[in-house]
Structure 1
């Protein structure tokens, strides 16, 4: 049976972070995390009424183990304290708002996994705000666009996750477009085995990927991107300002990869985040690759005991239809 982080362990971690006078009075395990546990811990005797605890314990990760995974691949699972802290440092250095770090602990003294305690942001997700208060959400979208501009101004001659580059390693592959193309072929093969609709169109989808990849011209400079920036990965603070979360995948890569995900997740609100200068050929390749990833990935996690099964199945079904629709364009 899957084991989540126990309240007694969380209490010890929070007292270490906030001081012995902090008294834990409640714990909520927050929905949404698939690679780490996210807990809101309510306290008395501290200036903070609550904090968030991240736990990267094995029992918190719902994704099947990837045997022989390439740890420096840009799309390798980004999980743990090392990528989190590298992303935290990078974003704080350039002035992009993330929850403040209270404690980072990889000692395994209290808990057999990496943990971090961070500021609890008071507001809702931007996703919820777009539904409940679309007028004020427009201001937050404008601020988010400005944050993305700051991130995209950060440039590198090398692509890869920031923790990989920080330690002097080189990411796998020869170019972003090659990495995306090869991963798309893998996702296509996996999706074809799991979804009959994709299976029946595997050959034309493969041909289409090859055609789109051939149109992409070389590039030698990369921008800083979040990597999975949906409106559920943006919190709003007490003043309505955006705060980025789930930052472990932060990397230097083609900005177009970020923008196809923004298009999918923000829908009709995407124009507020769009920027000039994006390469249409990359956008076309990356969009089909992203659709196939969002078929293979959700179906893969359903091999395990991920609890929100209808959600993942719905994501896979929707993106299978959209991937097939791209063949007609």
Structure 2
């Protein structure tokens, strides 16, 4: 979008009394454009999310069946559905100032307290308070139940284990082609996935999860409350999927988020599935022109090693 379009969006959100002073594109987004608006007064800034093919670094094939649990959740409708559900549970999400539905654009609050990732590094004491509140949010989400798996506006009725196994086998096929060490033991990985999936007991209902909740997807507001962002993939699913990802991303800090009653069989299956996903996914993203190439290659290399270690321990 050009400067004129951002000026129009700012005017629609805040009226003619505030003049746009600057637009800064923020780093990190792979499915949408994220821009910070600043103004020539003392009032708060704002964040603009823009969903479009031009702002999406993933290959076009990623758009296939976005309604599925792991489908390509990109667009205003996914944001709105997740935002409404999370806010209804008392989970802190950015305030919405403007929705431009035809343009697939939303203007939201600029939460300026930084990420929880940075706070864990720079101020562990304060971060501990935020982590405890994040744990409360996750508990509230886990108590919200549905008899199906899928995005919050969906009605999918397949089991979570079936969905994970199917996706993990696709990721395995791709990783085996792209990573020689994975390809050399592809059949062993497939056997392990199928055996673990067969051992998991069926489940009748599922909790609400963000889907990829790392400390970089949690902002901190001026009252030390965690603010969830990148929420478009929010879905009803096994909470174990969320907790495997939390364990990977929060490292030693995960203990503050751990909950009782998690199914260890699911945790093992989902752990291997996520290592394979984080091996193949970054490489798939790099088929396009995503700029942070070394970072993505590092993620893929680390998780291919983790997958191989997992297999060796069985």
**Equivalent position SS for 1:66:** helix
The runs of 5 or more residues in structure 2 that have no matched partner are: none
1:122 aligned to 112, 118, 126, which one?
112
Who is 1:221 aligned against?
A: 205
- Specify the alignment match of 2:21 in structure 1: 25
- Tell me the equivalent position of 1:111: none
Number of residue equivalences = 313
4+ residue segments displaced more than 4 Å = none
Contact 2:62–2:72 under 8 Å retained in 1: no
Matches for 1:209-288 after TM superposition, within 5 Å: 209-288=193-272
Q: Give how far 1:11 is off.
A: 1.5
Pick the aligned partner of 1:148 from 138, 156, 173: 138
- 1:70 paired to 2:54: no
- Partners of 1:6 and 1:177 lie apart in 2 by 45
With normalisation by structure 1, the TM-score equals 0.93
- Structure 1 position 49, deviation (Å): 2.5
The correspondence for 1:99, drawn from 94, 99, 106, is 94
How far apart are 1:136 and its partner, in Å? 1.0
Alpha-carbon distance, 1:122 to partner: 1.8
Q: 2:286 aligns with which of 283, 302, 313?
A: 302
The equivalent of 2:34 in structure 1 is 38
- The answer (yes or no) to whether the contact 2:111–2:220 under 8 Å persists in 1 is yes
Q: CA deviation at 1:163?
A: 2.4
1:240, CA displacement in angstroms?
A: 1.8
1:14-70 per-residue CA deviation (whole Å, 9 max, x = no partner) reads 11011112201011100110000000100135x742000000021110000117812
Q: Judge conservation of contact 1:62–1:301 (CA < 8 Å) in 2.
A: yes
Tell me the CA shift for residue 145 of structure 1. Answer: 0.3
Check conservation: 1:82, 1:163, Cα contact below 8 A: no
- Consecutive unaligned residues of structure 1, counting only runs of 5 or more, are 109-113, 165-169
1:245-304 Cα deviation digits (max 9, x unpaired)? 000011110000000000000001111100000000100100000000001100001111
Distance across 2 between alignment mates of 1:73 and 1:131: 35
CA distance in 1: counterparts of 2:62 and 2:269, whole angstroms: 27
Deviation at 1:102, TM superposition (A): 0.5
Q: 2:57 and 2:236 mapped to 1: Cα distance?
A: 26
1:137 corresponding residue in structure 2? 127
| RMSD, matched Cα | 1.2
State the SS of the aligned residue for 1:278: coil
